[in-house]
């Protein structure tokens, strides 16, 4: 624009979901403030105090007995909206109230939701007034039609007494008729009464009650996006532990680790689309268990051979998703100890640490 602007005293505020896409020279000149996401309790308060009342009023249900229970909101937070903010939670709550309004109209109908009687009286009076005003216009139109017919018949009688002649006007194409000559037919538009008064909202009877609970929540927002947090409904068998993973979008995930043993020659097999670092963590974990087998109560003596005739297979479910990182080492180690000792791991405990085998 060729206009000088002094930016020496201007403060730029930038927001980003991740720092990886910010160029390094620009990031070096910024002061980064990390803002953590909302926890479940904070989302619950935001939904009950702000999101739900706003969505209810916007859907025209401010005076209706439609309730969204706290248990339903908690289900939304756990199984539908796991983002750091409340954007998707707001969309789900708005969708619930819109479907509740549609359900009221479909189930009850116009006969169950009548308009106020005074509104009906006003509409009837407006219709009667418009009909009475249109009646004189119809009478005037009929009188003018009769006059036009008389004038036309008189003109035809006068022309029959004179010899035929070709007027000059007939030789000119596309010539409009004289202004004093009336048209042969008049098409009057049909008058339709139009009401410009705004339609009044329907009154919902006080006996109508809708309650959204976790049981009927699927009717409003569909099936849960996150089906379940645990692979096992019951306590898992020995050899299964729970690991915690970090996703690229800033959220986390639960990653079970399953280990089993079978006759073999002491080999270790890994499946589940695991990266090189996780494979090394599994090797370190198995070596640590072998080195401390007596201390763990797996072998009767310190010199006893262990895993010379057994193979170990480690699998991490959801094999189509790649997994990488050293933080799964502790979960793999817990699965090994649980398998060889025959002890179940508490499913409420999740591991997220790497293994340091050569440190006390």
The reported pLDDT for the residue numbered 87 is 92
Which of 293, 281, 298, 279 has the alpha carbon at shortest distance from 343? Answer: 298
Exposed, middle or buried by CB within 10 Å (0-12, 13-18, 19+), for 300? exposed
Domain 40-109+205-221: assigned CATH number: 1.10.8.60
89 DSSP assignment: H
pLDDT of residue 101 exceeding 60:
yes
What is the average pLDDT value for the chain, to the nearest integer? 80
The reported pLDDT for the residue numbered 131 is 59
pLDDT bucket at 177, cuts 50 / 70 / 90: low
Which of 338, 267, 339 has the alpha carbon at shortest distance from 309? Answer: 267
Using a cut of 0.85, tell me whether the model's pTM lies above it. Answer: no
pLDDT of residue 140 exceeding 90:
no
Q: Where are the domains of the chain?
A: 40-109+205-221, 240-341
Distance CA 303, CA 169 (A): 130
Cα–Cα separations (whole angstroms), residue 176 to 73, 151, 187, 191: 75, 19, 19, 29
Number of CB atoms found within 10 A of residue 99's CB: 16
pLDDT digits (tens, 9 = 90+) for 339-358: 999 999 988 888 888 888 76
Tell me what the mean pLDDT of segment 270-291 comes to. 92
pLDDT of residue 228 exceeding 70:
no
pLDDT bucket at 199, cuts 50 / 70 / 90: low
The reported pLDDT for the residue numbered 318 is 79
Tell me what the mean pLDDT of segment 178-201 comes to. 64
Q: Please enumerate in sequence order all residues whose Cβ is within 8 A of that of 323, keeping only pairs 6 or more positions apart, or say none.
A: 245, 255, 272, 273, 274, 275, 278, 316
Cα–Cα separations (whole angstroms), residue 246 to 148, 346, 351: 90, 21, 12
Tell me what the mean pLDDT of segment 14-40 comes to. 90
The reported pLDDT for the residue numbered 327 is 86
Give the best-scoring range by mean pLDDT among 37-51, 197-211, 308-322: 37-51
Query: Are the C-beta atoms of residues 197 and 126 closer than 8 Å to each other?
Result: yes
pLDDT digits (tens, 9 = 90+) for 282-296: 999 999 999 999 999
The reported pLDDT for the residue numbered 72 is 95
The reported pLDDT for the residue numbered 276 is 93
Which of 299, 304, 292, 267 has the alpha carbon at shortest distance from 282? Answer: 267
The reported pLDDT for the residue numbered 89 is 95
pLDDT bucket at 168, cuts 50 / 70 / 90: very low
pLDDT bucket at 112, cuts 50 / 70 / 90: very low
The reported pLDDT for the residue numbered 263 is 93
Domain 240-341: assigned CATH number: 3.30.230.10
Number of CB atoms found within 10 A of residue 171's CB: 8
């Amino acid at each position: 624009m060729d206009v000088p602007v002094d930016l020496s005293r201007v403060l730029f505020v930038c927001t980003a979901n991740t720092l990886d896409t910010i160029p390094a020279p620009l990031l070096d000149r910024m002061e980064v403030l990390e803002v953590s996401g909302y926890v479940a309790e904070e989302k619950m308060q935001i939904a009950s105090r702000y999101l739900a009342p706003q969505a209810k009023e916007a859907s025209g249900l401010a005076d209706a007995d439609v309730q969204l229970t706290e248990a339903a909101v908690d289900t939304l937070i756990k199984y539908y909206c796991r983002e750091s903010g409340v954007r998707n939670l707001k969309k789900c709550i708005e969708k619930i109230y819109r479907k509740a309004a549609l359900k009221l109209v479909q189930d009850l109908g116009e006969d169950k939701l009548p308009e106020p009687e005074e509104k009906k009286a006003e509409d009837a009076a407006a219709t009667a007034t418009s009909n009475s005003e249109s009646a004189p216009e119809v009478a005037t139109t009929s009188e003018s039609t009769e006059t036009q017919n008389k004038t036309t018949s008189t003109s035809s009688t006068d022309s029959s007494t004179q010899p035929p002649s070709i007027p000059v006007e007939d030789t000119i194409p596309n010539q409009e008729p004289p202004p004093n000559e009336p048209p042969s037919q008049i098409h009057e538009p049909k008058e339709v009464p139009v009401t410009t008064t705004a339609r009044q909202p329907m009154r919902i009877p006080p006996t109508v009650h809708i309650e959204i609970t976790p049981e009927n929540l699927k009717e409003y927002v569909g099936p849960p996006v996150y089906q379940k947090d645990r692979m096992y409904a019951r306590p898992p068998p020995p050899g299964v532990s729970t690991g915690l993973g970090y996703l690229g979008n800033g959220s986390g995930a639960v990653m079970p680790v399953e280990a089993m043993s079978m006759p073999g020659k002491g080999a270790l097999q890994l499946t589940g689309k695991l990266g090189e670092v996780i494979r090394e963590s599994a090797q370190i974990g198995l070596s640590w268990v072998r080195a401390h087998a007596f201390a763990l109560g797996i072998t009767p003596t310190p010199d006893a051979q262990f895993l010379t005739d057994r193979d170990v297979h480690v699998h991490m479910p959801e094999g189509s998703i790649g997994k990488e990182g050293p933080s799964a080492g502790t979960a793999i180690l817990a699965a090994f100890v649980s398998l060889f000792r025959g002890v179940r791991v508490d499913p409420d405990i999740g591991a997220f640490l790497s293994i340091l085998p050569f440190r006390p």
